[in-house]
Structure 1
Amino acid sequence: MNYQQTVDYLYQHLPMFTRVGAAALKNDLHNTLELCALLDNPQHKFKSIHIAGTNGKGSTSHMLAAVLQQAGYKTGLYTSPHLQDFRERIRVNGQLVPEEFVVEFTEQMQDAIAKIEPSFFELTVAMAFHYFALEQVDIAVIEVGLGGRLDSTNVITPELSVITNISYDHMHILGNTLPLIAAEKAGIIKPGVPVVIGETQQEVQPVFLEKAAAMQAPIHFADQEWLVQESKLSGSGLELGVVNKQQPEMKHIHLDLGGQYQEKNILSVLSALKILQLGGWEIPETAVQEGLSHVRKLTGLRGRWEVVSKHPLLVMDVGHNEAGIAEIMQQLRHTVYQKLHIVVGFVKDKAVDAVLPLFPVTASYYFCKAQIPRALDELTLMEMATAHGLKGHAYGTVQEALQAAKQHAHKEDLILVCGSFFVVAEAM
């Protein structure tokens, strides 16, 4: 098989959550452990940082990887889903895993695939861990796929765990209250391993304190340790003035990521780096500054308030749940434009009715459907949106919707593409 045939084989033969939803999930770690055992347990052969949370875990993972890379460590990065190329999920020092490795690994594992019948995600996790072990990375930043406790990535014992925040998402799998969702995410807290919680949220704080106490894991709430005192959007990202509440001296950070919501993620990153430094990792301040100002270049992060073109301003953001969309709408208030055009599509298992009221009724909408089985039908979405006072037209594909938005937009307008990773991926 060549690379394209291999990727097609993986998509077609392995159940994939991002395409089909909950049917692809296994509710235990058995398959992942079995796959790893066949590979001589690569998950024990490198140091790691484990990152969970409802929103911001991707950005936080990329930021940490960028700083570690800049500090001279050979850094693995595992994230999901990908936007354009399957290999985006597995990187070392920002470089995508080679196509040959993906082909060879898949061929090597074909008997195991037939016997174990893993999901797409389970096999991908095993592939990433095997690659990081072979590459002898100094450390790997591992982003949780979904939840935490039963996520395939939860077979590592990291140096540090990070949980960015908790909000409503995947309720049909993780539970329909914030404490239930938090309990699933808290499943990544390991005995004696420090954990950073990005946001102090009254409703879920006791869940984390209780779990950390049971695991004798030192717990840090990032927003209790750091404070963003100054924040300014510049053409190339965010200019931040951050203070550690213990030492009032201000730290000036240039972050090359747009989106004011990164202010929250930066606190998790700074708390995590502090713990690593205290644990003996050599991460000089210059590496912190350089890493954060070149996250995109160092790690290839995309789709977070990403300005694709100007006149009209075209922005893409993978925000797709209630909290994520709320942050995008907040960002719109800081953006100058004449008229707003929103290209939007969702997947069926999202609480779309809870998200639609967040969108402005003054925008023009281009309702669309990504080409995956899990996508919500564009006509159904338009009907739901109309009930919330949102006006627009439906398009069978993302590209048709984007082309229509471009035709209707004037030079000073803003076109926003959001609602789902898959809508952004197809727009790109």
Structure 2
Amino acid sequence: MQYQEALDYLYSRLPVFHRIGAKALKPGLTNTLRLCEALGNPQHQFNSIHVAGTNGKGSTSHMLAAVYQSAGYRVGLYTSPHLKSFTERIRLNGQPIAEEEVAAFVTANQALIETIEPSFFELTVAMAFDYFARQQLDVAIIEVGLGGRLDSTNVITPLASVITNIGYDHTDVLGDTLPQIAREKAGIIKPGVPVIVGETQAETIPVFTDIANLLNAPLTIADQQYLVEQDGVSEGLRQLRVRNDTAPTRSLSLDLTGGYQLRNVATVLATIAVLQPIWPVSIEAIENGLRSVVSLTGLKGRFQMLRQEPRVIVDTAHNKPGLEALFATLQTMSFASLRMVIGLVADKDRTSVLLTLPTSATYYFCQADSPRSLPAETLQAEAQVLGRFGAYYKDVNSALQAALQEASPNDLVVVTGSNYHIAELIDL
């Protein structure tokens, strides 16, 4: 098979979450373990850091990869979903897996795929682990897809387990209380393996503490170790002041300018500190990595500036806590009017998301070319009932074009709400 043939085969043959939602999930780790066993158990052939959480796990994974790359390590990075190309999911020192590698894996394992009938995500995880096992990595950063306990990535035994935060998302799968969701995320904690939790949350810390104690896993709470404060944005970099009890105040620069990244930086620094005896990292590597995350790892869609006058910012926030963090950053900015280009998937708790949106903005509702996407006309109608007004458009590019035509040079245009319609932006 050629690359496009291989992708077409996977999309047509396997259930895909970003197309059909939770119906694509195959509960349990059985399929992943069967795939890995047939491939020679690659998940045991490289060292890893496992990253879970409701929000911030993608940014945290990319930051960790950037720092370790800057320190001279050979770094694998597995994340999902992709925005533009499937190959974005599997990276080596920032470079996406070659299309020829994807085609060769699918061709060689077609009979295995048809015997096991895994989900798209299960197969992708197995592909990533097989690739990393052959690359003589120093470390692979593995981002959880959904939850943790039953996520396909949870067949590894990492050298550290990282949980960024807990919020309400995928409640139909993970539970409808924060402790329930925390318990699912805490499923990545392994016996004796250090665990780093990003944020102190009253409802969830007892869950992590109990499970860590039960498994004799040393627990670090990042925001109790590191205080990260912002010092404005200069030359496209978020300026940070970092304090902890064991070192003088340090200045850092971060090329991910969303204010919500401060809590992720604390998580990254705590993780690096815990793993310092295994993978030593200098202050210079931390500084260089954090100021160059985008160029080193290819991260897109995190408070990404597309243009000026009017400013256009793209952010993949897609749930209530993520959008709240986005709007907290927007409140620190000056602009004439706010114009929001937004699309949502149909299986979200849309009311809570819509109530998070500011009533003062002008809205441009759109939809993605995906069965999961909520029709733009439906989104407009539901938003209007809640006092959020605007027109609807057939896709994100026509919605953005309308916003730009109506915007003054001092306005701010924000594209957000769903990875899937952001992925369809022509200029991303």
Which interval holds the TM-score relative to the shorter structure?
A: over 0.9
8 Å CA contact 2:50–2:162 kept in 1: the answer is yes
Secondary structure of 1:135 counterpart: coil
Superposition map of 1:259-278 within 5 A: 259-277=258-276
1:11, 1:234 → 2: CA distance? 43
Following the alignment from structure 2 to structure 1, what is the Cα–Cα distance between the partners of residues 368 and 113?
Answer: 28
Deviations 1:120-144 (A, max 9, x none): 0000000000000111111100000
- Look up the SS of the partner of 2:424 in the other structure: helix
- In 1, the alpha carbon distance for the partners of 2:400 and 2:229 equals 38
Answering whether residue 151 of structure 2 is matched by residue 159 of structure 1, we say no
Report SS of the residue matched to 1:21. Answer: helix
Q: Which one-letter code corresponds to 1:370 in the other structure?
A: A
Residues 97-141 of structure 1, C-alpha deviation per residue, up to 9 Å, x if partnerless?
Answer: 001000000011100111100000000000000000111111100
Amino acid at match of 1:165: N
Counterpart contact for 1:320–1:419, Cα < 8 Å: yes
- Rounded to whole Å, the distance in 2 between the matches of 1:256 and 1:313 is 17
Work out the CA distance in 2 between the residues paired with 1:102 and 1:339: 45
1:225 aligned residue: 225
Do residues 354 (structure 1) and 346 (structure 2) align? no
Separation (CA, whole Å) in 2 of partners of 1:408 and 1:4: 39
Aligned partner of residue 275 in structure 2, secondary structure: helix
In the alignment, is the contact (CA less than 8 A) between 1:417 and 1:423 conserved in 2? no
| 3-state SS of paired residue (1:9) | helix
1:236 aligns with 2:236: yes
**Could you report, residue by residue, the CA deviation over 1:350-394 in whole angstroms, capped at 9, with x for unpaired residues?**
111001112111211111111100011111111110011111011
Question: 1:2 deviation in Å?
Answer: 1.7
Instruction: Kindly provide the CA deviation profile for residues 236-264 of structure 1, in whole angstroms up to 9, marking residues without a partner as x.
Output: 121000111x2251011101111000000
Counterpart contact for 1:237–1:258, Cα < 8 Å: yes
CA separation in 2, counterparts of 1:231 and 1:153? 37
Would you say the 8 A contact 2:395–2:421 is kept in 1?
Answer: no
Which residue number in structure 2 is paired with residue 54 of structure 1?
A: 54
CA contact (8 A) 1:303 1:316 kept: yes
C-alpha displacement of 1:409: 1.3
CA–CA distance in structure 2, aligned partners of residues 170 and 85 of structure 1: 24
Equivalence for 1:383: 381
Query: Structure 2: how far apart are the matches of 1:3 and 1:254?
Result: 38
Equivalence for 2:69: 69
Residues 67-106 of structure 1: matches in 2 within 5 Å?
A: 67-106=67-106
C-alpha RMSD over aligned residues: 0.9
Amino acid at match of 1:157: T
Measure, in 1, the Cα distance between the counterparts of 2:247 and 2:3. Answer: 53
Letter paired with 1:284: S
CA contact (8 A) 2:230 2:262 kept: no
2:300 aligns with: 302
Deviation at 1:230, TM superposition (A): 4.3
In the alignment of these two chains, the number of paired residues is 426
Q: Distance in 1 between matches of 2:307 and 2:409?
A: 11
SS at match of 1:426: coil
Q: In the aligned structure 2, how far is the partner of 1:4 from the partner of 1:258? A: 35
Q: Give the percent of matched residue pairs that are identical in Structure 1 and Structure 2.
A: 53
Residue 235 (structure 1) shift: 3.5
The answer on 1:18 being equivalent to 2:21 is no
Moved more, 299-308 or 357-366: 357-366
- 1:335 & 1:14 partners in 2: Cα distance? 44
Report the equivalent of 2:341: 343
Q: Do the aligned partners of 1:337 and 1:413 also contact (CA within 8 Å) in 2?
A: yes
Amino acid at match of 2:301: G
SS for the counterpart of 1:100 is helix
Contact 2:229 2:262 in 1 (8 A): no
Unaligned runs of 5+ residues in structure 2 are none
**Aligned equivalents of 1:280, 1:142: Cα separation in 2:** 17
TM-score between the two structures when normalised by the length of structure 2: 0.98
Query: 1:133-148 counterparts in 2 under 5 A?
Result: 133-148=133-148
* CA–CA separation in structure 1 for the residues paired with 2:397 and 2:19: 19
* Structure 2 SS opposite 1:23: helix
